[in-house]
Structure 1
Amino acid sequence: MARLTGKTAIITGGARGIGRATAELFAEEGATVIIADIHEPDAVNNPAISFVPLDVTQLDSWQTLVDSVLAQHGRIDILVNNAGLVGSYEPITKIDLDDWHRIVEVNQTGVFYGMRAVIPAMQAQHAGSIVNVSSIWGIVGSSGVAAYQASKAAVRMMSKNAALSYVDDGIRVNSLHPGLASTPMIAAQDDAITADVIASTPMKRAADPREIAYGALFLASDEASYVTGIELPVDGGYTAP
């Protein structure tokens, strides 16, 4: 069954990792998918997927993207705010201030800009689903990674705020909280950090990005028509204790 037939979806950070897996799954389920990323994806073989360059920290670029999608497709049914970065593993007293501002700008302000740009179109059609990708570290604490944790926790609460603010407009907003996944971002981090997270995960392994994408698919689809304002961990049990 094609669960997203006839729907148009924007996925930020869709060039690789969880975003790419989500784009491919959404297209398989019938959606027209626009990957919006600062990086151009490797070869895309599905004609339902297109690429538009986007820096999520630039509100004007967001508005240009929205105007373009509306002109071409007439509507925006789904927004997956997936773009993000860890950026620094330093704690509050040691993190470089430029790193702090850049991480918050991408992870938190980028999500804010995405919702700000897309919500009016969803209001006009009185329907829409927004999936904001947070993290397990947006729910539970960890030492270090101060800016990443702060920004991802903000995504969780921003999602709840938007869910309640726009529920009468037919817009659902939820946050998705992946655990450790086998992505290029995780491959680039220190092996000791990865091993520590896996050791703390009851399933004792990293997720395949497609496993995370299925969580996004549920929240985006009409199967979640009575679901708004929740945080959905897909984390191998990491947040269960």
Structure 2
Amino acid sequence: MDLQLSGKTAVVTGGSKGIGLEVVRTLLSEGMRVVTGSRTITDGLRATAAVPVAVDLSTPDGPATLIDRALAELGGIDVLVNNVGIGDAADVAQGALLNLVDLPDSAWQHTFDLHFYTALRATRAALPSLIERRGTVINVSSAGARLVTAGPVDYNVAKAALNALTKVIAEQFGPQGVRAITVAPGPVSTGVWTDPDGFIAHVAAQQGLPHDAFAKQLMATLGASTGRLSTPAEVARLIAFAASPNNITGAEYLIDGGVVKSA
């Protein structure tokens, strides 16, 4: 199916690996021109035709730096995919291992800087171009935003705030032609789950359990109806559909294999 994205432009935050890298590849395959920002430029990203920008997006000036570079490269932005997240596995693991009393303010601040403020700042910087081009903002959230106690609590709360931000963008800028959509993955077969030094492995080690056994136990506890992880390619295809011309805005699309049972 032709998604009518050929010739359009996109900015993807956190496009060096995982879901972000697959989004970059998918949008390029649809004929888009893509600029992506991340702290490191991986070999996988270098192998694409995207324009990589090395930038720390968790800093106050990082998102605007990326958007300025993208505007210089692309001339304008049709789609902004706010995808960056997770970061250091040990940082995220704190939110799963510590309770509300013990999790320090610094952890909450770091998590919100990366998972909420990055999206807010990138969106604000891109809005003039998005308004001009009647563009689309796609916020990559998490099924955890609906299951805030089942995982890293600071991460899940930050993602819940990101979901609310999508609604605000859609409502405030819809009359000017800007759409905003949330895509919320559940467990995905990225390094977060599979790497020996990823988040799941880190939590498993803290609990004295083998990585594979803990991952299987956690999947069973989450109760995915499909019984499997989603793939980055599946998430990327949903994001590409959301970016395509349509009349969807303010909506949340779960891609979690049925982890979230409520409507």
Partner of 1:174: 181
Alignment of 1:85-234 (within 5 A): 85=86, 87=92, 88=94, 89=96, 90-125=98-133, 127-187=134-194, 188=198, 189=200, 190=204, 191=211, 194-199=215-220, 200-222=223-245, 225-234=246-255
Structure with the larger helix share: 2
Q: Which has the larger radius of gyration?
A: 2
Q: Is the 8 A contact 1:2 1:30 kept in 2?
A: no
Question: 1:208 corresponds to which letter in structure 2?
Answer: T
Q: Deviations over 1:113-151 (max 9, x none)?
A: 1111111211233x1111101100112333452201110
CA distance in 2, matches of 1:196, 1:97: 30
Question: 2:48 corresponds to which letter in structure 1?
Answer: N
CA distance in 2, matches of 1:104, 1:56: 12
Unmatched segments (≥5 aa) in structure 1: none
CA distance in 1, matches of 2:66, 2:163: 24
Unmatched segments (≥5 aa) in structure 2: 205-210
* TM score, norm. by length of structure 2: 0.84
Label 1:196 to 1:114 Cα distance change in 2 as closer, same or farther (>3 A).
Answer: farther
CA distance in 2, matches of 1:209, 1:172: 23
CA distance in 2, matches of 1:153, 1:29: 30
Moved over 6 A (4+): none
CA distance in 2, matches of 1:238, 1:135: 11
Label 1:9 to 1:197 Cα distance change in 2 as closer, same or farther (>3 A).
Answer: farther
RMSD of the TM alignment (CA)? 1.7
SS of the aligned residue for 2:61 comes to helix
Paired residue total = 237
CA distance in 2, matches of 1:159, 1:71: 26
CA distance in 2, matches of 1:143, 1:182: 19
CA distance in 1, matches of 2:117, 2:48: 31
| Of 193-202 and 23-32, the range deviating more from structure 2 | 193-202
SS of the aligned residue for 1:11 comes to strand
Percentage of matched positions with identical amino acids: 29
Question: 1:238 corresponds to which letter in structure 2?
Answer: V
Structure 2 residue 260 is the aligned partner of structure 1 residue 239: yes
* TM score, norm. by length of structure 1: 0.92
Structure 2 residue 67 is the aligned partner of structure 1 residue 46: no
CA distance in 1, matches of 2:110, 2:120: 14
